[in-house]
Structure 1
Amino acid sequence: MVTFGRARTLNLTGGGLVSLRVAIVTESFLPALNGVTNSVLRVLDSIASHGHEAMIISPTYTERWYQGVEHFRAPAMPFKQFAVGLPHPSLTANIAQFRPDVVHVASPFWLGGQAIAAAARLGVPSVAVYQTDVSGYLARYNMQFARAAVDRMIAAIHAPATVTLAPTPASASYLTKLGVKNVDVWGRGVDLELFHPDRRSSPEVRASRQLIAGDKRVVGFIGRLAAEKQVNQFDALMDLPDTHFVIVGDGPERANLEARFAGKPVTFLGSLRGEDLANAYAMLDVFVHFGAEETFGQTIQEAQATGLPVVAPASGGPLFLIQPGVNGYLGEAHRPQTFRPFVHDLLTDDGLRARMGEDARRSVRLKSWDANNAILLQHYERVVAAAKPVGMRERQSV
């Protein structure tokens, strides 16, 4: 069954909030920069700020410690541009040694599936966070023949989880149709201070914009430059008059895209983080995302927080984030020509663009990372409270 709404705040000790030990097993972590990594980093921040303890298991990070949190590296194999974590006997031992109250599994596949199963054997509740549309990616890589098998695998991976958190009602419904039980909806937060409309009027941003685009309007994309993002579909917008395009990010498709758009009014800025990333958003007039396999769309939220109208496909996460005609528009997935009229209208109507930009910011105003992750921590408390106390460590009030 799918449940919606916020988890209940529980008092496990009768005397206040509790200090929890959280084992995080993630299919992606630093140095990879993507939605899974970003979400895990924010969760770690919240765990620390609330006085909880964590450990990390991932296939990508090479260091033993991350900001005081112990890390264990899992074996991995390359697939396309990804490092796919592999099951390993040490995973169960590492989890057991940490003695967690709850196991958080980010975007579980092979590695995460083992972690969920291990948690069940150890009698520890698990929270599985569904973040990657693996089944959808198979179509992108011409592997549709494996889709049914992957759907069965996803169902089997999530079956032992105490609760599965999906980013949108649509993805929750997908999991429920696969037979996954105890599915709830938990979205993603956004840094409302870093990504802010006021940044667009800063002298630094204005100077950068003038240097890159002169007096032209600026349309852009920010994200990983991989095939599933369909950045090549910006072809459909290249004939818009007095328009410059900015593409921010890196990935396996960057060289192909740079060659494709050579001689066109396109600037590639590479991978950016922090203030530089926020300034890149602030240079834009309109944010466009063509990728049709997004389970959520974190960059869409960051654009909205910056006060930008967004044009994206009527597929996946954008359906949850964009209200057509209010804070952006939805084009037809895989039909980039349907995006062009929307982008044209936004570029040529200053009032429309300003109104939608204000509504875009308004649509995320309650989605700070603190507020978002408070809901996650409540999920932790709920599953821990419902778990059998046998074998669990004694918890201390904080």
Structure 2
Amino acid sequence: MVSESFLPQIDGVTNSVCRVLEHLRDTGHEALVIAPAPAPAARRTAPRSYAGAPVLWSPSAPMPGYPEFRFATPWTGLPAALREFRPDVVHLAAPAGLGAQAAYAARRLGVPSIAVYQTDIAAFATRYGLALAERTIWRWLATVHRLASRTLAPSWDAVDTLLSEGVQRVARWSRGVDLERFNPEHRDEELRARLAPNGEVLVGYVGRLAREKRVELLVGAAGLPGARLVVVGDGPCRPALARALPEAAFLGFRTGTELSAAIASLDVFVHTGINETFCQAAQEAKASGVAVVGPAAGGLLDVIDHERTGLHYAPGDPVSMRREVLRLVEDAELRTRLATAARASVAGCTWHAIGEELLGHYRDVLGTRLPTTTTSDRWRR
């Protein structure tokens, strides 16, 4: 399992890798994690194993402008690490720098690989002032994914994007959700009383407060009559966002039962990112029985069924967002209908089911020294 990020870094890539590792453990498979070393200050407490899988750190450096995120630097020891472990399949989680090294190493060793497309790195770079590098980044990513025996993408929009960039052998592999951890039963009336002392409708964002999430668009959900904006998460944009949204409640970074309660206690979940390949936070809100509002773009086209499990707004448009959020603030019956349908829509999306589907992809590529094509109806061309 070669991942561009891992614990203690918490993000969508880390979350899905952890769930896969748990499923591999529970189904009797052996795994090794290779990921960029965390920041020096975090290494003493960072886990060196997870779900029975040892964690091997590669050399890393801090991301300019976002030092909390580490990226892998070239590591000559990677091929030897793979040879020693002798994997049947190499799983590349959101491959970029480290994933590219592993893809080349797996190809040289004759080991099939599964590349999981999960992060729109080109859009990420654009938000950090590297717009001129977008085409170069896509050419690089397409090359990496073409090295893999198969690429898995979490939404149909992501599948189509990869195909348009010349990546073949692409299949859709969605994301699971913990239906016990994210559940309407975790609604916390004491928390709601503190956040909405006058019975306000709670409109919440949950996620990283970083540029690529377009969190500045939350101004569109602020100051609505009879509502209060709640922000759950942390990141480099928090100080500026707090200044722009003085009346919002900032709960900071939350995990475990605190996160479950925070999401289930919302009345409306709103998301701002337009480059999400899936949007796990929105799926967790659906599982928590919360109506979701998100842009009609990227993975949220899959996650939100407009007018049934949530509402779409024009991507990047705070006025359009405000209009859709206001509909839910003013219409309790609509909120309830969408929230009930949202919870029901994820009933079959357990991590066990998603893990079994992944094992099916592993079995498909086992024994292939070179990538091959298939006529399976899981494929889109």
TM above 0.5: yes
In 2, are the aligned partners of 1:231 and 1:290 still within 8 Å (CA)?
A: yes
Unaligned segments of structure 1, at least 5 residues: 1-23, 389-398
Q: Distance in 1 between matches of 2:74 and 2:171?
A: 26
1:129 has 2:106 as partner? no
Partner residue in 2 for 1:20 = none
Partner residue in 1 for 2:73 = 86
Partner residue in 1 for 2:189 = 206
Partner residue in 2 for 1:379 = 361
Equivalent position to 2:148, from 161, 167, 176: 161
Q: Distance in 1 between matches of 2:29 and 2:369?
A: 18
Deviation per CA, 1:94-118: give whole Å up to 9, x if none: 0110001100010000110110111
Correspondence 1:1-398 to 2 at 5 A:
24-61=1-38, 62=43, 63-79=47-63, 80-81=65-66, 82-200=69-187, 205-214=188-197, 215-262=199-246, 264=247, 266-387=248-369
Q: Name the SS of the counterpart of 1:173 in structure 2.
A: helix
Deviation of the 1:374 alpha carbon:
0.7
Deviation of the 1:238 alpha carbon:
2.2
Deviation of the 1:341 alpha carbon:
1.6
Deviation of the 1:198 alpha carbon:
2.5
Q: Higher relative CO (CA 8 A, sep ≥ 6), structure 1 or 2? A: 1
Deviation per CA, 1:231-256: give whole Å up to 9, x if none: 22221232311211111111111122
Deviation per CA, 1:26-54: give whole Å up to 9, x if none: 00001111000000000000000000000
Q: Distance in 2 between matches of 1:224 and 1:60?
A: 21
Q: Distance in 2 between matches of 1:340 and 1:256?
A: 20
TM-score (norm 1): 0.87
Q: Distance in 2 between matches of 1:55 and 1:138?
A: 29
Deviation of the 1:260 alpha carbon:
2.2
CA RMSD of aligned residues (A): 1.4
In 1, are the aligned partners of 2:21 and 2:51 still within 8 Å (CA)?
A: no
Aligned length: 359
Deviation per CA, 1:59-80: give whole Å up to 9, x if none: 0354533343212111112223
Runs of 4+ in 1 over 4 A off after TM superposition: 385-388
Distance 1:255 1:152, change over 3 A: same
Unaligned segments of structure 2, at least 5 residues: 371-381
Deviation per CA, 1:117-148: give whole Å up to 9, x if none: 11111011101100000112233223221111
Q: Distance in 2 between matches of 1:161 and 1:69?
A: 23
